[in-house]
Amino acid sequence: MGADVKPLRTAAEAALIARFQAAANSLPGDSATGRRRTEAFDRFEKTGLPTRRIEEFHYTDLRALLRDAPEPAARPDAAVAATVLAHNAAFPAPLAIPSLDFVNGYLVSQPPAIAGVDIVALDAALAAGDALTGRIGALELAQDNPMLALNTAFMAEGAIVRVSKEAGDAGLQLRFANAADAPFSSAPRVLVIVDDGASLDLIETHAGASGLAYQVNAVVEIIAGDGARVNHTRINAEGDAAQAVSTLSVSLGADVRFSSFGLTTGPAMSRHQIFLGCAGEGADITIGGATMLRGRQFADTTLTLDHAVPNCNSRELFKTVLDDESTGVFQGKIIVRQHAQKTDGRMMSAALLLAENATMNNKPELEIFADDVQCAHGATCGQLDDDLLFYLMARGLPRKQAEALMVEAFLGEPLEFVAREDVRDNLVALVEGWLAARG
Amino acid sequence: MAAVQETVDRVKAIDVDQYKYGFETVLETEKAPKGLSEDTVRYISAKKNEPEWMTQWRLDAFRRWQTMVEPTWARVDYPKIDYQDAYYYSEPKNFSGPDSLDDVDPEILKTYEKLGIPLREQELLAGVKTSKVAVDAVFDSVSVATTFKEELKKVGVIFCPISEAIREHPELVKKYLGSVVPASDNFFATLNSAVFTDGSFVYIPEGVRCPMELSTYFRINERNTGQFERTLIIADKGSYVSYLEGCTAPQRDEHQLHAAVVELVALEDAEIKYSTVQNWFPGDAEGKGGIYNFVTKRGDCRGDRSKISWTQVETGSAITWKYPSCILRGNGSNGEFYSIAISNGRQQVDSGTKMIHLGKNTTSRIISKGIAAGKSDNTYRGQVSAHRKASNARNFTNCDSLLIGDQCGAHTVPYIESKNASAVFEHEATTSKISDDQMFYCMQRGLSDEEAVALIVNGFVKDVLQHLPMEFAVEAQKLISISLEGSVG
């Protein structure tokens, strides 16, 4: 109500507006890109930082959470970048997979040439008017999102990756590490194009120094061609004072096998939004998530899945474990368009509250316009089963250990979505580490 | 899986062009001047011979309403309502609170006869019916008759039009009116608070089990008139009441507004069962005409171990905006919501419930079935929340929807919010959740997979309709047989 009232700008909004006005002319790209930036920023400016008045942000008031908008950090030199990367790894055991490394939002290193994989830095691609830049932000479904628009307005650092069939079973890491003396903000953007029939394991990790109040608004876009296969894994292990907003935007061609799994555990505040659109028939989609929160952490996972064409299957499974006074949010929306017959969509969100004062908000939505489809959603919320706990303790396990066993089993299900063993081992180690820290 | 033919036929049988109650009663009426202003509010208040405090209460609500903006969050789409282009009060000419049915205009009596609503007590007694139902018949803005008042009085039950209650039981009305749905609750509830005309008032004293079903039958008759009824039901400690509500309206090209408020208060160990068969004129197949139904219904389980149960069968109205809710304040209190919403033609339904768990050991259950056909949209919107102190709260929600044809839409928007670790909430929206054991049992006896599912699901729907009182079973009969096979969750 009162939608016509123009809100006063917060300090963060005012800073962003001033920054855009100052930087608009120096950001890379031709006049067409410039227009896109202006359009995107206008869209952002219209709503400002999203509040609960926007239904998609019903539980996450970014206007209140993002109090200021710190300046971006300076580009780190090679030595600093190497130190930051070394000290901020999301994974306990490093992977033997080529990686693109980002420090404080800047692309600092690219892997040696891989057959069938083309990588170009985003700022260079924009400045050179690379044709691939035209495919950035193409997903209609995500157009109105203010945080994505904000990233588009400022996009400069990042990369465009194109994987062709010749690459075989390619693997690529996107490693984001953050550490600096003062709070900063970053808005990296990566576009990954997987050609028809190509295959890619994409592992995206985010880590950062603890105690540093930095802000991230990262965007990863994936465009998968007909018959492609993409396994995406995302770890959010940002620093404990970080505020991390992230967007995964995916558009799928016909007969694509796509899976995405996200583990969230690090930052003080996170909002991960997934937009997925089916453009071709016969896609098979699996999306999983595991979130572990403690202290006063806040994590929001928001998923919008658009079945725009017939004959696609999707499975979504999200698990959240909440300790202390943490708050979890899951919003999932499955849209089935009028002609998207024979769609089969299933979404499940389960939450486990380990402490009295934890909070979980679930909003699993269905929006269906086709009559010959199967869609289901489920949501549960509760604490550990006393009977099971008793059973384990009766067999001599101390309470904490029994709890840990049950939590691990609870989170195990979505972890199965991760096909690569080396990645999954790392995820299990992260879960075990988190449980061990509970004491 | 698409809907089975049997279901398609059943839904067609109650399609918008089959509306049976669309006739109009020609009567001379007396109306408030067109439009809405403080004068209209005073006019209504004066018509009802209300005391000054009530007039002030209405005016306060009206002033607040003027500052409010119509909500837009629901999934309904309609042209802007011109609140000045309608009458807010309409009564049959020379109507002055009839003492007996003989004083009531025979045309009105005929109307109720046609609708099948018994207003004569002796007819009822002579009839084949074994159970009695007390009826309060509301015609546009006035209550024309209330039956069995005397018999109910003997056990201490007060059942009368709310305008009479304001005059004769001001202490009860003052204490409870607006205590569940405050005058400032929402746009439509505030409008209702300013201009409500009639509706029923029920008070069940401590320890009394109401000896018969109570019911109110709402009829909109006059052209260009809105109906704003207000119902208040109070069940004192340890009492029980079952209340039914029915509604119909003539077939017209124009849209008419119906904005009702229903408040239920259940004190310690009391139980209220509230059932609705909503069958307002739905408009024609092209979406012309029909009632805009914006209703605020809320029950407050104020006492420990109290129980409120809502059952609704929704087939009418061009637009339905309705969320019967339970505030589970008392420890161990229980709320239930059973709903079947069927939309046809160009109907738009946005309905659901709220279960607010505040007390310890509170339980709630939500069963909702939405069926959309034609070019209609059917949305389930529900909220379940547990507050910090609601230890051991339990909720089970099941909402299924079924689409017939590819021009309609079914939507599910649940909000599940838990602030207490010991609260257990389960939400599911699928028919595939039938237990394997049940399936095995049926199939072992030779039923095919599909037959087994149909048997179990239909058994389940019947279970929901069982919660409707006998008197409504007939109306609901055709809905009972609707199979939910092909449900899309």
Lowest mean per-residue pLDDT among A79-88, A194-203, A276-285, B18-27: B18-27
Q: What is the pLDDT of residue B94?
A: 67
SS3 B148: coil
CA distance B466 to B463: 5
Q: How many helices (H) and strands (E) does chain A have?
A: 9, 20
Q: What is the pLDDT of residue B481?
A: 44
Q: Tell me the sheet residues that pair with A300.
A: A271, A329
Give domain limits for chain B.
2-487
Contacts of A207 by beta carbon, 8 Å cutoff, 6+ apart: A88, A89, A90, A175, A176, A177, A178, A235, A237, A238, A239, A266
SS3 content of chain A, % helix, strand, coil (to 5): 25, 40, 35
CA distance A391 to A396: 9
Supply the Cα-derived Rg of chain B in whole angstroms. 22
A269: which 2 tokens?
A: 């505040």
- Asked if A163 and A382 count as a contact pair (C-beta separation under 8 A), the reply is no
Closest residue in B to A333 (Cα) is B413
Contacts of A143 by beta carbon, 8 Å cutoff, 6+ apart: A43, A137
Distance from CA of B381 to the nearest CA of A (A): 9
Distance from CA of B21 to the nearest CA of A (A): 30
Beta carbon pairs, A and B, within 8 Å: 140
**Strand B363-372, strand A106-109: pairing:** unpaired
Q: What is the pLDDT of residue B488?
A: 44
Which amino acid does the sequence have at A388? L
Q: What is the pLDDT of residue B128?
A: 41
Q: What is the ipTM of this complex?
A: 0.84
Q: What is the pLDDT of residue B217?
A: 84
**Inter-chain CB proximity B415 and A362 less than 8 Å:** yes
What is the dihedral sign for C-alpha A33, A37, A40, A46?
A: negative
Got the DSSP string for A242-310? -EEEEEEEEEE-TT-EEEEEEEE-S-SEEEEEEEEEE-STT-EEEEEEEEEE-TT-EEEEEEEEEE-SS
Of A355, A366, A371, the CB nearest to B421: A355
A181 in B contact zone (CB under 8 Å) = no
Tell the residue number behind the tokens 């003492």, with chain if given: B99
At A114-126, the pLDDT tens digits run 999 999 999 999 9
Q: What is the pLDDT of residue A298?
A: 96
CA distance B180 to A158: 55
Tell the residue number behind the tokens 């400690």, with chain if given: B237
At A233-267, the pLDDT tens digits run 999 999 999 999 999 999 999 999 999 999 999 99
> Is the predicted pLDDT of residue A8 greater than 90, yes or no?
no
Distance from CA of A220 to the nearest CA of B (A): 28
Q: Which of residues 336-365 of A touch B (CB under 8 A)?
A: 338-339, 341, 346, 351, 353-365
At A304-351, the pLDDT tens digits run 999 999 999 999 999 999 999 999 999 999 999 988 888 888 899 999
**Inter-chain CB proximity B425 and A380 less than 8 Å:** yes
Residues of B in contact with A363 (CB under 8 A): 413-416
Residues of B in contact with A364 (CB under 8 A): 412, 414, 416, 427, 429
DSSP letter, residue A74: P
More confidently predicted of B471 and A190? A190
Interface with B, mutate which of A331, A381, A385, A387 (most B CBs under 10 A): A381
CA distance A7 to A3: 9
The one-digit pLDDT tens for each residue of chain B (489 residues) are 456 666 677 667 667 667 777 777 777 778 888 888 999 999 999 988 899 999 999 999 999 999 999 988 888 888 888 888 888 888 877 666 656 667 777 777 777 777 777 776 555 444 444 456 778 888 777 777 777 888 888 999 999 989 889 999 999 999 999 999 998 899 999 999 999 988 889 999 999 999 888 888 888 888 778 889 899 999 999 999 999 888 777 777 788 889 999 999 999 999 999 988 888 888 887 878 888 999 999 999 999 999 999 988 888 888 999 999 999 999 999 999 988 888 888 899 999 999 999 999 999 989 888 878 788 899 999 999 999 999 999 998 888 887 777 788 888 999 999 999 899 898 877 533 346 677 788 889 988 876 776 666 555 555 555 665 555 555 555 444 444 444 444
Using alpha carbons, select from A261, A384, A366 the residue that is nearest to residue A322.
A384
Distance from CA of B347 to the nearest CA of A (A): 15
Contacts of B94 by beta carbon, 8 Å cutoff, 6+ apart: none
CA distance A223 to A193: 5
Q: What is the pLDDT of residue B131?
A: 55
Q: What is the pLDDT of residue B453?
A: 60
Interface with B, mutate which of A366, A374, A389 (most B CBs under 10 A): A366
**Inter-chain CB proximity A371 and B414 less than 8 Å:** no
Q: Tell me the sheet residues that pair with A272.
A: A246, A301
Residues of A in contact with B405 (CB under 8 A): 371
Residues of B in contact with A374 (CB under 8 A): 1, 432, 488-489
Q: Tell me the sheet residues that pair with B274.
A: B243, B310
Interface with A, mutate which of B66, B67, B417 (most A CBs under 10 A): B417
Q: pTM here?
A: 0.86
Instruction: Please give the angle made by the CA atoms of A307, A308 and A310, to the nearest 5 degrees.
Output: 80
Calculated CA dihedral for residues B465, B347, B80, B281, nearest 10 degrees: -70
Q: Which of residues 58-77 of A touch B (CB under 8 A)?
A: 58
At A378-427, the pLDDT tens digits run 899 999 989 999 999 999 999 999 999 999 999 999 999 898 999 999 99
DSSP letter, residue B227: B
Average pLDDT, chain A: 92
SS3 A119: strand
Using alpha carbons, select from A188, A178, A242 the residue that is nearest to residue A217.
A188
| Residues of chain B contacting A, Cβ within 8 Å | 1-3, 68-69, 71-73, 187, 388, 401, 403-430, 432-433, 486, 488-489
CA distance B265 to B177: 10
Q: Which of residues 371-400 of A touch B (CB under 8 A)?
A: 371-383
**Inter-chain CB proximity B488 and A367 less than 8 Å:** no
Q: Tell me the sheet residues that pair with B201.
A: B160, B232
Closest residue in A to B424 (Cα) is A382
Q: Tell me the sheet residues that pair with A314.
A: A285, A345
**Inter-chain CB proximity B420 and A380 less than 8 Å:** no
CA distance B125 to B244: 19
Q: How many CA atoms lie within 13 A of B36 on its CB side?
A: 21
